[in-house]
Amino acid sequence: MASSDDERPRARGGAPPGAAPVLTASNLLGRIGLDAAGCARRLTFLSFDAADVENLAQLRAVAHANVDGIVEDFYGHLLSFEETRRLLADPERVARLKKLQREYFLRMLEGDFGHDYFESRLRVGAAHASTDLRPEWYLGTYSLYLRLLGGRLLEHYRDEPDTLLALLGSFTKVVFLDMGLAIDGYILSGYVDRTLAQDYRRMAEVAEQALAEKADLEQAKADLTGMIVHDLKGPLGGILAVTQLALRQASGAPSDRHFAQIQRSAQDLMRMIENLLEIDQMQEGRLELRLEPVAIDGLLAECSAEYRAAAEIAGMTIAVAIEAPLPVLMTDRWLLRRVLNNLVVNAVRHSAAGAIDLAARLAGAQVEIRIHDSGRGIPSADQAALFDRARRRRGSHREDTGLGLVFCKMACERMGGTIAIESTPGSGTTFVITLPAEASL
């Protein structure tokens, strides 16, 4: 039998955005590759035979007499659960559904399980998938049919338990046939793919949110650290100013040495703070170069003068060797000076005694500055990590914060140049800076 619902292409209304494409009648069986032989095979698997057809015919009388009550009880049950009630808010829809439900139920007892029957059951499954009714609610509802019809049958066959069992057994086979086709209908409508896609989307949203929160937190931490580091410059500047004053009025008293020591420590601290702040600025692309003509020989002389006392205390000498002619570069004087300061402090700290040589020359299109110490040298396996911030964080070898060389590399690159290391354990270390000479005057 072909009921009126066979002609309608799919459930009306209620289909969410992204729902399955319209499923036209008479094409679903083909789409799951279910031909006449396949349909017959399903019935055989359910052990459906002529006796069942007879049993269904016997059931029809009771079913027709009770169908209205069964349908009422059916929707009474669905309206008592939040998950199913939400789809039945419109009384007109419920009235329409009751009529369709009546046809659906009675058709189960017709005994005509041909192509049209299979097709219509697939479509009803697909129609429910389009309303986004989860399959457990839809499939669970089939048990209602058994309970509602079973109760009515009991009234008729109370004294014939064998008949009652046989009738219910045949009806149960149809229920399971319909449930199987309902599942196929859900799969055909793309419900599984849609649900998975929704789950993945939700998971992606949760992950994105967690990442955004983590990034916010890290930013807040970085901002706070930056602020604290920046604020340290104030009191440190105060200490430097006072020690400077005290050293200017030096009288040869033993306290002078202490002041000089305090000044060196405060300068070290200031240098580390500036490294940190400028690394952050360079990483965020905020460090503007202040270009001006810079004579490299003068800059190296200034640098060696600044650290000569510290070097002498450590039993070292600092020498500057310039190979003329050396062009005047257009670069950031303050930044380059800070790179040199870092490298010279490094050299003083890591050479037990001996000489620190600062040299500069023109090498093709580059100005090359070399800072050599006669310290213990750095094994080549450790050299790559020296300029890498992430690796410095894990274990610093040559400096307190481990960030001096990271700063030097970033600053040299910011000025359009490079920095490299040449070192052999036992015979000292040379840092080689190159800066483009074409940026010269």
Minimum CB separation of residue 191 from ligand HEM in Å reads: 14
d(CA 132, CA 435): 66
| Burial label, 360 (beta-carbon count in 10 A; 0-12, 13-18, 19+) | buried
| Of 14, 150, 327, 436, the one binding ligand HEM by CB under 6 A | 14
Q: Which is nearer to ligand HEM, 101 or 331 (CB)?
A: 101
d(CA 10, CA 128): 9
| Of 32, 94, 100, 328, the one binding ligand HEM by CB under 6 A | 100
**Residues 55-94, interacting with ligand HEM (CB under 6 A):** 78, 84, 87-88, 93
* Look-up of token digits 């090359």: 368
**Does 189 help bind ligand HEM (rule: CB under 6 A)?**
no
Asked whether 356 and 317 are in contact (CB, 8 A), the reply is yes
Minimum CB separation of residue 168 from ligand HEM in Å reads: 16
| Of 48, 117, 138, 407, the one binding ligand HEM by CB under 6 A | 138
Q: Which is nearer to ligand HEM, 58 or 131 (CB)?
A: 131
Q: CA angle at residue 431 from 301 to 332, to 5 degrees?
A: 55
Minimum CB separation of residue 213 from ligand HEM in Å reads: 38
Nearest to 58 by CA among 169, 141, 136, 135: 169
**Residues 110-129, interacting with ligand HEM (CB under 6 A):** 123-124, 127-128
Minimum CB separation of residue 68 from ligand HEM in Å reads: 16
Which tokens is 18 given? 């992204």
DSSP state of 13: S
Give the largest CA-CA distance in the chain. Answer: 126
* Look-up of token digits 């007879």: 54
Minimum CB separation of residue 33 from ligand HEM in Å reads: 22
**Does 137 help bind ligand HEM (rule: CB under 6 A)?**
yes
Minimum CB separation of residue 48 from ligand HEM in Å reads: 19
Cβ neighbours of 40 (radius 10 Å): 13
Q: Which is nearer to ligand HEM, 181 or 282 (CB)?
A: 181
* Look-up of token digits 């200017």: 248
Minimum CB separation of residue 81 from ligand HEM in Å reads: 8
| Of 55, 66, 101, 267, the one binding ligand HEM by CB under 6 A | 101
The residues of the shown chain that bind ligand HEM, judged by CB under 6 A, are 5, 8, 11-14, 78, 84, 87-88, 93, 97, 100-101, 104, 123-124, 127-128, 131, 133, 137-138, 141-142
